[in-house]
A and B are shown apart, each in its own frame.
Chain A
């Protein structure tokens, strides 16, 4: 090999001395940066963004009747988001941990001087940021309604905040299911099912089914998991901290469970 010694030469000592212990935030950012770059290194990111924008446009204009409503609002845009995210968010989140486990890089990552939660948060933030970017690219819609009339920008802003929070909640669920399996396909399917439950939990056919035999507290409990009522507030332009808290607690719970799952894999 080369004559350059990698043992304790003076320059090597300088390298060791230059190494500072990175803060937890530093580690999270390093991991998030890598993960985000990972999306754009493959066609996945571009395919996702294009499909997201096409579908969002299709539902807004063709299905939602954007023009027929005769009002300058983005209601017909936001109303489809729970359904759009149902398939698209798991597609973004499915690789987070499945891929690490399949490729064995999880062994590299978790033997680095980082904690598991730093890795989990870093990876989650990266994909959330990616979703935020996709969502931000719908900005021409905002300009469209601004051109057409005088929309309530506060309502639109609320819609975006709610949509982003909902995407984060779905994503955290995908992150959790992604830790369950080495297979991205399995993690995608499980994630879609769980997210579908989050959508349908408060839907009358579901609650009616429960009402027959379940005690009222269980019916209310199940219905309480529904994302729909919480997202509706945002769509109407109501920034209710309880709604935000709901989405945030889904995220915290799911990410915490991700950590438990990863720990249990390692414990064997």
Chain B
């Protein structure tokens, strides 16, 4: 539904977006991750037709956003950053205005407003002026405007920004549910949201896509992905680390923490180690050494680590080279 090809946006000499390409199909929720100023909002503004790209192409539902903007815009619902809304209107008035611009009149308009009011829990503030709303309500009002015409494509710029934990959860659930039938592009810098709502994620940094994959795939890029963490009692930290490192299946070991007699350590497997081999050898080691084994688990890898490794220039350069290749 959304097809972005080699999108470039220059503000003066600065390239805010530099060669971004991706697609979002129906039934997909694409998370757009990146540090502040990475070009997320600029990309979304080009996707929704608010600003024209310097070069490159955006097509929504097959309609080119520059050549043929109106049919493309009809398909999109858009929640801009900071959830702007006309502060001099009531919530009902604002939603009615959005519905009319979307071509809904009379009974259809009334039904559409009722539907989004219910979905976004706005009954209590329907006749309140937008400028008296709390941030959470205002955000939901703007979200309601975005879904009022039941669009096939949703573009949401930080939809959970400024919401409390319950509201965040509600919005994520809503996104995931709508994502079953729509194409959704949403940006965030909260990594747990990627797990909670996305089928796929893109990490963008300084205007370029630096990673693109399912949350699972991204997580596996983490250094710790596949490492085995253990908690034992019965030996000092350095001893544990040394014994673990000497195992043939282990490449490297570290002591994470030592508290009293308890040691938390992590073993990084050799590249050729087979599934389960490291856990087994660690278990046997613990039995042999008569350690009390309190915990043994394989790390899945952490998104925040991947994110940091990819988007911080100094740490994780190797990671970056791998992803760029």
- Given known A7-B182, A42-B88, A111-B50, contact A15–B150 (CB-CB < 8 A): yes
Q: What 1/0 mask marks residues of chain B from 1 to 33 whose CB sits below 8 Å from any chain A CB?
A: 000000001110000000000000000000000
Query: Is the beta-carbon distance between B74 and A18 smaller than 8 angstroms?
Result: no
Q: How far is the CA of A204 from the CA of B107 in the complex (A)?
A: 61
Q: What 1/0 mask marks residues of chain B from 105 to 118 whose CB sits below 8 Å from any chain A CB?
A: 10110011001101
Nearest CB in chain B: distance from A165 CB, A: 28
Within 8 A of B (CB), among A14-37: 14-16, 18-22, 26-27, 30-31, 34, 37
Query: Is the beta-carbon distance between B115 and A15 smaller than 8 angstroms?
Result: yes
Q: What 1/0 mask marks residues of chain A from 94 to 122 whose CB sits below 8 Å from any chain B CB?
A: 00000000011101101111110000000
Q: What 1/0 mask marks residues of chain A from 233 to 268 whose CB sits below 8 Å from any chain B CB?
A: 000000000000000000000000000000000111
A266 proximity list for chain B (CB < 8 A): 50-52
B51 proximity list for chain A (CB < 8 A): 266-268
Query: Is the beta-carbon distance between B74 and A21 smaller than 8 angstroms?
Result: yes
* Partner-contacting stretch, out of B171-179, B195-203, B267-275: B171-179
Q: What 1/0 mask marks residues of chain A from 218 to 237 whose CB sits below 8 Å from any chain B CB?
A: 00000000000000000000
Query: Is the beta-carbon distance between B174 and A37 smaller than 8 angstroms?
Result: no
Within 8 A of A (CB), among B49-93: 49-52, 69-71, 73-74, 76, 78, 80-82, 84-89, 93
B243 proximity list for chain A (CB < 8 A): none
B121 proximity list for chain A (CB < 8 A): 1-2
Nearest CB in chain A: distance from B84 CB, A: 4
Q: What 1/0 mask marks residues of chain B from 275 to 300 whose CB sits below 8 Å from any chain A CB?
A: 00000000000000000000000000
- Given known A1-B119, A7-B177, A19-B149, contact A108–B84 (CB-CB < 8 A): yes
Query: Is the beta-carbon distance between B97 and A8 smaller than 8 angstroms?
Result: no
Within 8 A of B (CB), among A173-194: none
Query: Is the beta-carbon distance between B115 and A4 smaller than 8 angstroms?
Result: yes
Verify if B100 is at the interface (C-beta below 8 Å from A).
Answer: yes
Verify if B103 is at the interface (C-beta below 8 Å from A).
Answer: yes
Verify if A144 is at the interface (C-beta below 8 Å from B).
Answer: no
State the total of A-B contacts with C-beta under 8 angstroms. 133
Q: Which of A2, A31, A104, A113 has the most CB of B within 10 A?
A: A113
Contact of B145 among A26, A30, A108 (CB under 8 A): A108
Q: How far is the CA of A230 from the CA of B112 in the complex (A)?
A: 50
Return the chain B residue nearest A34 by Cβ.
B97
Verify if B102 is at the interface (C-beta below 8 Å from A).
Answer: yes
Query: Is the beta-carbon distance between B85 and A108 smaller than 8 angstroms?
Result: yes
A208 proximity list for chain B (CB < 8 A): none
A38 proximity list for chain B (CB < 8 A): 86, 88-89
Query: Is the beta-carbon distance between B86 and A113 smaller than 8 angstroms?
Result: no
Q: How far is the CA of A8 from the CA of B150 in the complex (A)?
A: 8
- Given known A30-B100, A266-B51, A267-B52, contact A4–B150 (CB-CB < 8 A): no
Interface size (A, Cβ < 8 Å)?
A: 40
Q: How far is the CA of A11 from the CA of B182 in the complex (A)?
A: 16
Query: Is the beta-carbon distance between A111 and B78 smaller than 8 angstroms?
Result: yes
Verify if A63 is at the interface (C-beta below 8 Å from B).
Answer: no
Contact of B82 among A4, A34, A104, A110 (CB under 8 A): A104
Q: How far is the CA of A24 from the CA of B129 in the complex (A)?
A: 28
Nearest CB in chain A: distance from B93 CB, A: 7
Query: Is the beta-carbon distance between A41 and B88 smaller than 8 angstroms?
Result: yes
Q: How far is the CA of A26 from the CA of B121 in the complex (A)?
A: 30
Q: A15-B150, A20-B105, A34-B97 are in contact. List 16 more A-B contacts (CB 8 A).
A: A1-B173, A6-B150, A12-B115, A18-B108, A27-B101, A37-B89, A104-B84, A107-B50, A107-B80, A108-B85, A111-B48, A113-B70, A114-B101, A115-B69, A268-B10, A268-B51
Q: Can you spell out 30 A-B residue pairs with CB atoms less than 8 angstroms apart? A: A1-B177, A2-B121, A4-B119, A5-B177, A6-B115, A6-B178, A8-B181, A15-B115, A16-B150, A18-B108, A19-B102, A20-B103, A21-B74, A34-B89, A38-B86, A104-B80, A104-B81, A107-B45, A107-B84, A108-B98, A110-B50, A111-B49, A111-B50, A111-B73, A112-B102, A113-B70, A113-B71, A113-B73, A115-B69, A115-B70
- Closest 6 A-B residue pairs measured CB to CB? A18-B108, A104-B84, A41-B88, A19-B103, A7-B181, A113-B73
